[in-house]
Chains A and B, each alone.
Chain A
Amino acid sequence: METEGSISAAEASAALAATRSSRARVAWAGYPAWYWLLTGAGLGVLSVALLLPKGWALAAVAVTAGVLVGLAWAASRARGVCEYWTRSAMRWREVVALYGPVAVVLLANAFVARYASWSPFAAAALVFLLFAGTGLLLSARAARR
């Protein structure tokens, strides 16, 4: 049905809310649980890679990065949503909520690992929990919208 005449501010506001809801559902809904779990594990591996000798560490990071890209591609196929490489349906604050804590833990681990041998393993577990937990939570919330 076409709309006719002028619309009120309340109607415009409701329309904008509907667009935000649709965008959020596209950004978060439909991700398979394995994507959050495997990507969280992959990011955790990055913190443990510090324990390896320099050359092996670089190789491990490169392989893990390749696996993470592959996981993102497979999840995209499973979801039926093809996003751009440089931008996605997620808002910046959502990207920060998802990757920010992980980045902080990885950076902190890079310093602490020099003094505490347990740090990379604790960081790996924390990164996994933060990423998988946030992803699963926000994904489930978007599906309920």
Chain B
Amino acid sequence: MSPAHSAEDTTAAAEDGFDHLIHAPARLRICAALEPVREIEFGTLLSVLGLSKSALSKHISMLADAGYVAQRRAVRDTRQRTWLHLTESGRSAYQGHVAALRRIVGDA
């Protein structure tokens, strides 16, 4: 995803809260898993969501390009692990998106 594209998505998100980047099923589930916690290890997120490693990496990098997700690398038990967390803008975009979904359900 190009930075210009992610900027468009973020701008669109600001209009009514509905965020097309987040709305894709896998990315919505990623954000829902990251929102209530401080950070999650990549491997844990894999098992929680049941996605393939490559699919999760692809979606994480799209969210990271949009500035919604940040990564931190740390060594534990001699293995390098990646911890993921929602940024402030990611959290607010996700919460706005969920509010927009609730409005759609409520309006029906």
Hey, which bits of chain A sit against chain B, CB under 8 A? Answer: 1-4, 7-9, 12-13, 15-16, 18-23, 25-27, 29-30, 77, 79-84, 87-89
Contacts and interface: CB of A to CB of B under 8 A. Distances in A.
30 contacts: A2-B24, A7-B23, A8-B108, A9-B104, A12-B102, A12-B108, A13-B105, A15-B23, A15-B25, A16-B101, A16-B105, A18-B25, A18-B29, A19-B28, A19-B29, A19-B98, A22-B48, A25-B33, A26-B36, A27-B36, A29-B47, A81-B39, A82-B38, A82-B83, A83-B36, A83-B37, A84-B38, A87-B36, A88-B37, A89-B36
Interface in B42-71: 43-44, 47-49
Q: Chain B contact residues: over half helix, strand or loop, or mixed?
A: helix
B38 A79 contact: no
Contacts of B36: 23, 26-27, 83, 87-89
Interface in B6-30: 9, 20-21, 23-25, 28-30
Q: Which 9 pairs between the two chains have the least Cβ-Cβ distance?
A: A9-B108, A80-B41, A80-B44, A19-B32, A22-B32, A89-B36, A12-B104, A12-B101, A22-B29
B48 A25 contact: yes
A83 B49 contact: no
Contacts of A83: 36-38
Contacts of A1: 24
Contacts of A13: 105
Given A9-B108, A19-B32, A30 B44 contact: yes
A63 to B, nearest CB: 27
B20 A26 contact: no
A83 B39 CA distance: 7
Contacts of A25: 33, 48-49
A7 B41 CA distance: 32
Chain B residues touching A, range = 20 to 34
Contact of A26 (B48, B98, B105): B48
Contacts of A89: 36-37
Contacts of B107: 9
Contacts of A87: 36
A2 B6 CA distance: 11
A82 B98 CA distance: 23
B33 A3 contact: no
Contacts of A30: 44, 47-48
